Amino acid sequence: MNEYKKELELYEQLNEIAVKGEVVVFGSAFAKNIPVSELAQTYGIDRCVYNRSFGDMSAADALNLAEKAVLPLQPKKIILQLGETDLERGYKSVTEIIKDYNELIRKFRENNKRVKIVILSVCSEENETDKLNTALENIAHKTKCQFVDVSGSVHAENPYLKVFSEIRLFIPDKINFCDAMSFAGAY
């Protein structure tokens, strides 16, 4: 856990001044690089969106880090993107990653029964990526979370911008007509 010490200390300080009950992005290296606050402003999202991701965080480490980085924010919505570090470093199998996801979801719901959880697919080209993304979609359905497949973003010119443009419609509680039509591909 010492490898996360500086990031965790920063997040703890930021959490003291952050608005409670908003949206938190919690993930590993890929999610950490998404400039969520700037993109939320650009897209006119009228909610606070906090990125509490850690570079190279494993799904198992997420369980402990969530206690101090995410739960104090009392998020209304959590966007999860974990697993690529586990695959890339060979830390865990897909089965073990899914077990950690189940524990994390349970922990979030114990803290707030009404929290909405959005699970993002992994953006990686590792061997087990397709298998993990299928398992993530299955766990989302079983645990009544939303699932967003952003795996194709890995090949985009700017994958972080592409991912945010895909998940931005999952951030507000309600979407307007124009966003709904855009989401449906009508224009």
Q: What string of pLDDT tens digits covers the 187 residues of the chain? A: 577 999 999 999 999 999 999 999 999 988 999 888 888 888 888 889 999 999 989 999 999 999 999 999 999 999 999 998 998 888 889 999 999 999 999 999 999 999 999 999 998 777 889 999 999 999 999 999 999 999 888 778 888 888 888 888 778 765 545 544 454 554 4
User: Among 62, 75, 78, which Cα is nearest to 28's?
Assistant: 62
Q: What pLDDT does residue 173 have?
A: 65
For residue 3, the tally of other CB atoms under 10 A from its CB is 12
- Cβ–Cβ < 8 Å for 86, 59: yes
Tokens of 75: 């998020």
Torsion-angle region of 79 (φ positive above 0: left; ψ -120 to 50: alpha; else: beta): beta
Tokens of 100: 């950690």
**CA gap 158, 154 in Å, rounded:** 8
Enumerate residues 6+ apart whose C-beta is below 8 A from 95.
135
Q: What pLDDT does residue 160 have?
A: 84
Residue 130's Cβ-side half-sphere holds a number of Cα atoms within 13 Å equal to 1
